[in-house]
Structure 1
Amino acid sequence: MQRTVAVLNQKGGVGKTTVTLGLASAADAARRRVLVVDLDPQAASSWVLGIDPGGPSAAEALASKRANTRDFVVPSAWSDHVHVLPGSADLQRLEDGHVKRLRALLEQVEDDYEAVLVDCPPSLGDLTRSALVASAHALIVVEPSSLGLRGIGGVADVIDEIWDSHNPDLELSGVILNRVPAVSREAERRIDELARIVSRRAIWSPSIPQRVIINEAVGARRPVHSYGSRATDTAAVFDSLWRKVRGLVRS
């Protein structure tokens, strides 16, 4: 599962979906095919990608013992380069499901894409563990605030646990900082604290700055790259992060 990347944190509101969508937007701009797997019952990434409730979903695929994954993957409204295995509220009832089933589903389609990006729910339950079992790479998304860093050690512990018990190919491949203010001593202190937990080397650069255009793109259900000059610096950040992801999945 070299091409599969789990984007996670047990805390909600830190921007896992923002990062997943930003990477998908950068891949789209580079004309690279990606699959977004939405494991969050709130299905936010599916909605932004133009997928409304009622169609095929990850929950249906996971509930079927002999699913053909391609029957549940749908094209996004963004472009033919971005496909989606949509989330739905039904994922909630699968929180205690079989953690190896997602891996079997993604093995059927991984070679169709440059990368598979799994948007995990804000928890360390079986859905997130399923994503880690199915992935070669884990990316933790963190907001540099006192609340944003809570539980990071627990996330790293679960990654180690999955590596030890289910998936020896899994790596904590990086930590992405989201919503970083231009100047903030508090943010600098929290980044130093994070470096003590995961190591400075694990923290990816560039970080994602606080920008209104990101929220605007989400609300309009559009890729951030579609905003042209209004999103030049933000798009450049996601382009750089996408290049790092490509380096991971191609190594």
Structure 2
Amino acid sequence: MTDRTVAVLNQKGGVGKTTVTLGLASAAMSAGRRVLVIDLDPQGSSSWVLGVDPETAVVSVGDVLAAKPKSGALLDAIVVSEWSDLIDVVPARPDQQQLEDGTATRLAKVLAKSAAALDEYEAILIDCPPSLGNLTTNALAAARHALIVVEPSALGLRGIGGVADVIDSVWDLHNPDLELSGVVLNRVPAVSNEAERRIDELGRIVGKSAIWQPPIPQRVVFNQAVGERRPIHSYGRRASDATEVFDRLWATMRRTLRSR
């Protein structure tokens, strides 16, 4: 495990874990920093947006976790993204869904064996699947930091206690260095009394200081960036408010990583 490994998670699908993972990677790239994205979600959305088709990935993170003969070391699975040579990815493949039953510490051991080579990355971002199964447990067992992505709605906050419980369980059983380092609010409307109530509720659950600022606003350009497989920073002035948010969140992440 490296102190710069971050598991981006929530058990609910559709809250924007991949948007946050890729937005942080885009901000890092814009700042000239190297980042490795490990795609643990069998849907492979991060891999696809970064230019690696999960259906045709030669070596995937699933191969690494399953210890198949062709997999070799983690380094064999790292692919340079189409965004930039600053952003690398360990791609997903749909068949890694079968790894939901398996050893909880496999990824941690693989990262430990490659620790020296991983020192070149400013951060290692693990995009978790929308579940609290074995793949997410592997991410948490391998990470120094857990970053929860939440949408400020009634459904978005459902199960947040379960996520915190899993983090506590992994801390107790597998990884005493794991910390809940922050919560990122995604798809926050400009004006909404309901959203404000949910944000207050979230603050009572995790503590206001755990919520990273600023929140990520609702913007059509995020969906366009995913559809066009582009970093959000490539949209220039059209996405200036969105890129400013991710630049500030990236700055918070760097401070968090350096403080440990």
Normalised TM-score (structure 2): 0.95
Contact 1:206 1:241 survives alignment (8 Å):
yes
Q: Does 1:230 align with 2:235?
A: no
The aligned runs of 1:13-162 (5 Å cut-off) are: 13-52=14-53, 53-55=55-57, 56-64=59-67, 67-107=72-112, 108=114, 109-162=117-170
Residue 17 of structure 1 aligns to a residue whose secondary structure is helix
Q: CA deviation at 1:19?
A: 0.1
Contact 1:36 1:83 survives alignment (8 Å):
yes
Residue 113 of structure 1 aligns to a residue whose secondary structure is coil
Contact 1:22 1:238 survives alignment (8 Å):
yes
Residue 97 of structure 1 aligns to a residue whose secondary structure is coil
Q: Which runs of 4+ in 1 moved over 6 A?
A: none
The separation in 2 between residues aligned to 1:166 and 1:15, in whole angstroms, is 27
Count of matched residue pairs: 251
The range that moved more, 98-107 or 35-44, is 98-107
The separation in 2 between residues aligned to 1:6 and 1:166, in whole angstroms, is 15
The separation in 1 between residues aligned to 2:253 and 2:68, in whole angstroms, is 31
Paired residue type of 1:95? E
Paired residue type of 2:12? K
Aligned equivalent of 2:218: 210
Once the two structures are superposed, residues 3-29 of structure 1 have per-residue CA deviations (whole angstroms, 9 ceiling, x without a partner) of 100000000000000000000000110
Q: CA deviation at 1:104?
A: 1.7
Q: CA deviation at 1:54?
A: 1.6
Contact 1:4 1:110 survives alignment (8 Å):
no
Q: CA deviation at 1:106?
A: 2.0
Q: Which runs of 5+ in 2 are unaligned?
A: none
Aligned equivalent of 1:172: 180
Aligned equivalent of 2:252: 244
Q: Which runs of 5+ in 1 are unaligned?
A: none
Q: Taking every aligned residue pair, what percent have the same amino acid on both sides?
A: 67
Normalised TM-score (structure 1): 0.98
Paired residue type of 1:48? V
Contact 1:3 1:110 survives alignment (8 Å):
no
Q: CA deviation at 1:65?
A: 6.8
The separation in 2 between residues aligned to 1:213 and 1:117, in whole angstroms, is 22
